[in-house]
Amino acid sequence: MGAPKHLLEIDGVSMLERVVRALRDSRAGRITVVLRIGDDPGRVLAEALGVPWALAAEPQRGRAASVRAGVEAAEGGAAGLLFALADQPYLLPSDFDSLIDAFASDPRGIVRATYAGEPGSPVLFARRFFAELLSLEPGQGGRVVAARHSESVRNVPLDPHRGRDLDRPEDLSDRSPTTGSAACSGSRDGYSPPSMERTLAIIKPDAVRASQTGAILEAIEASGLRLIALRMLRLSRREAEGFYTVHRAKPFFDSLVDFMTSGPVVVGCLEGEGAIAAYRELMGATDPAQAAEGTLRKRFATNIEQNACHGSDAPETAAVEIRYFFRDLDLVERD
């Protein structure tokens, strides 16, 4: 056996850490990492992250033991308990928040994520189910309690691509390209990108500072791509680090984060046929010295880092990046 699955890394960040970070950035309250006995590396990681941990005693009880440890760790006053799995590393803070919002409107129920209509994780249980969760049979998980109380269950559909779990180390290598930001690439589940696509565009601080926002938007519109959302903001360090997390191990990472937080950016969502490739073509090569004549980077970039614009590089990363800045309601329908 290799490393425990939750310690496997995607672009240099372990699955467990990814899930803890997403929970931290959500409205979830206290977080506890439930560990199997002997999972010392897991404990060291939880401590490094500053997150309390609990041991699932009686390992022969399987999932029931983990559920029990989670319930016992819940704060006395907690209205509910959300069970998140370390093997769903692509869920976003907003996914957890969708469940928490649904729960807030009826804090006596059970809220469950569904993917394309199929029930899945995470699941959030109101306090009144805690006793039942503590008395599960060996091997049973929280889903049994949800099934028993189907009248109290509210389903919250989440994006199946973000909710997929990584069951095999091969799944991980499928999704660990060595370069680029395609952290979620891979299509073993048969996903084929629609011809009408959306992509995230960022006008970076150098171009905003140089008053090139209008010219870049003009070029975008002239290319036939439609803007369906637009806003200006200044990224915090944490937001910039999160956005470029696939580059965390690169030597230029700190400098990239310095640059991206050095001033306001303009973020937009673009829509069109093959929008992802179309916008990358309009931007040109990362390094302006290599960029073709007429491209945005040839026209506006200063160097390989201060290169005026960003565009998503694959449908999966586009979906994650768009959600990083926009709620579904922010994306307008264009005629």
Q: Cβ of residue 296: shortest distance to ligand ATP, in angstroms? A: 11
The answer to whether residue 310 is catalytic is yes
How far is 198 from 321, CA to CA, in rounded Å?
10
Please report whether residue 206 would count as binding ligand ATP according to CB under 6 A: no
Per rule CB under 6 A, is residue 277 in the interface with ligand ATP? Answer: no
Site residues (CB under 5 A) for Mg ion?
Answer: 181
Distance of CA 40 to the CA centre of its chain: 26
Question: Does residue 311 belong to the site contacting ligand ATP (CB under 6 A)?
Answer: yes
Select which of 6, 161, 247, 310 is catalytic. Answer: 310
Sign of CA dihedral 55, 41, 22, 176: negative
Question: Considering only residues 177, 304, 323, 331, which one is a binding residue for ligand ATP as defined by CB under 6 A?
Answer: 304
> What does 304 interact with, of ligand ATP, Mg ion, none (CB < 5 to 8 A by kind)?
ligand ATP
Phi, psi of 72 (to 5 degrees): -65, -25
311 binds, among ligand ATP, Mg ion, none (CB under 5 to 8 A by kind): ligand ATP
Interface size with ligand ATP, residues (CB under 6 A)? 12
Q: Is 252 in the site for ligand ATP (CB under 6 A)?
A: yes
Task: Check residue 191 for interaction with ligand ATP (CB under 6 A).
Answer: no
> Can you tell me the distance from the alpha carbon of 16 to that of 20, in angstroms, rounded to the nearest whole number?
6
Closest approach, Cβ 181 to Mg ion, in A, equals 4
Residue 71 contact partner, candidates ligand ATP, Mg ion, none, CB within 5 to 8 A by sort of partner: none
93-125 as b/e, with b when 16 or more CB fall inside 10 Å? bbbbbbbbebbeeeeebbbbbebeeeebbbbbb
Tell me the two tokens of residue 180.
Answer: 């680029």
Report the candidate in 239, 233, 226 with the shortest Cα–Cα distance to residue 269.
Answer: 226
CB 282 within 8 A of CB 223: yes
Smallest gap from residue 199 Cβ to ligand ATP (A): 10
Adjacency order of strands within the sheet including 110-115: 80-83, 118-126, 110-115, 153-158
- Which residues belong to the active site? 310
Q: Which residues contact ligand ATP (rule: CB under 6 A)?
A: 180-181, 247, 252, 256, 286, 304-305, 307, 310-311, 313
